[in-house]
Amino acid sequence: MAGALALGLTLPAQARAAGDEAPADPPIVRDQALVGTRIVRDQAPQDETGAPVVVGDLDATFSAEARPDQNVVAVAPRAYLGIRPRPEVELHVTFGAVSIFRDGPQGRQQQARPGNLGFGASGVLDRREGNWRYAKVGFSFVLPTAFTTTPEEQEAYDYALAGRIGWDPWTWTPKTFGVVVPAELRAQVSRRWVIGGDGGLAVLLPSANRTDGLAIAAQVAGEARFVTRWMGLGVRMAASWNGRHPDDRTQAGVSPFVDASLCRRSAGRRVQGERARTSEACPVYALARLNMNLDGPYGFTGADALGVWGVQLGLGWSVY
């Protein structure tokens, strides 16, 4: 016979003694084919690592200065919220604020100012099979929700920038529209080391009664991070150019930092070091960073340097 006929048969179980109970079999699915019957037993679904659908972080910088006439303390919180309708697309919104407290001969004074509102979209590459790879590039629009009416209020924005080594000047520059192209890159280069960098380029446009015309802002940073079982330890170096600053437009600084991922009870240890900082098992992380300005206008060199460092504390999260 030129062809062959294949049959799959299910034979009944042998007779059992009276009173014996048959063990429960897993459900059976019969997959019918043209030349036979194949029996497949259902299996439990395997856990798969998915991409986050909501990401975000909330941080605040704290800076202080002791002057001959008064003591100054500034607090500048900032929030970032991103939604990923698809794993490779992220829509985001950012907002910040700053409060400054002065304690001098005239008593305690306080100024609180809003930052600029930003929103945009980015393309995302987040590969977690094998060595972790992460890249993001996009665009953002900045609306001029920050404004000042007095020199003291303008000084509040200077402290907000000083606490962050001049980072994201478009968020803390009042009466300014902005079009920003941000980018971020991270890569795991060995079992414990993750290196990366981020930056941005912005065109700043005046609003309201500003008459200083078009300006450019740019920033770049690189970091190296060592991931242990309990935490991540690293150092970050940053430099920025703020075309809106009236005098010294460049700022450089270095930031040692520590981070730890907060995990679910099922993950074993509740505090771990994660290469991507968040995962399905560890959806939240905490970060502490010391931002040290190396030069003016916010460091300690230059005639009118502010002479301020900042402590940055934050939480980040991912929802899967």
Q: How many CB atoms lie within 10 A of CB 290?
A: 14
Q: Is residue 5 in some structural domain?
A: no
Range of the domain at 178: 54-319
Q: Is residue 30 in some structural domain?
A: no
pLDDT tens figures, 189-221: 999 999 999 999 999 999 877 778 899 999 999
Distance from C-alpha of 44 to C-alpha of 307, rounded to nearest angstrom:
61
Residue 25's pLDDT is what?
A: 52
User: 14 by DSSP, 3-state: which?
Assistant: coil
Q: Is residue 128 in some structural domain?
A: yes
pLDDT tens figures, 55-102: 999 999 999 988 888 899 999 999 999 999 999 999 999 999 999 999
Question: With 0-12 CB in 10 A as exposed, 13-18 as middle and 19+ as buried, what is 26?
Answer: exposed
User: 155 by DSSP, 3-state: which?
Assistant: helix
Residue 192 φ then ψ, to 5°: -115, -15
284 in Cβ contact with 315 (< 8 Å): yes
Is residue 87 reached through a cis peptide bond, with omega within 30 degrees of 0 on the bond before it?
no
Q: Is residue 17 in some structural domain?
A: no
Residue 248's pLDDT is what?
A: 85
Distance from C-alpha of 283 to C-alpha of 278, rounded to nearest angstrom:
5
Q: Is residue 32 in some structural domain?
A: no
> Which two structure tokens, joined as six digits, stand for 93?
């919104």
Task: Return the CATH number at 268.
Answer: 2.40.160.40
Pick from 177, 174, 175: which is nearest to 156 by CA?
A: 174
Helix and strand element counts for the chain (H, E) = 1, 16
Number of domains in the chain: 1
Query: Does pTM top 0.85 for this prediction?
Result: no
170 in Cβ contact with 116 (< 8 Å): yes
Q: Is residue 9 in some structural domain?
A: no
Q: Is residue 93 in some structural domain?
A: yes
Average pLDDT, 10 consecutive residues per value, the chain (320 residues): 42 44 49 43 41 94 90 97 96 98 86 96 94 97 94 93 96 95 97 97 88 91 97 98 89 98 91 95 97 91 82 97
**What DSSP character marks residue 303?**
T
Q: Is residue 283 in some structural domain?
A: yes
Residue 27's pLDDT is what?
A: 52
Residue 43's pLDDT is what?
A: 38
Can you list the pairs that 7-10 forms with residues at least 24 positions away whose Cβ atoms lie under 8 Å?
7/36, 7/37, 8/36, 8/37, 8/38, 8/39, 10/39
Residue 296's pLDDT is what?
A: 81
Residue 17's pLDDT is what?
A: 44
Q: Which residues, in sequence order, are bridge partners of residue 247?
A: none
Residue 133's pLDDT is what?
A: 96
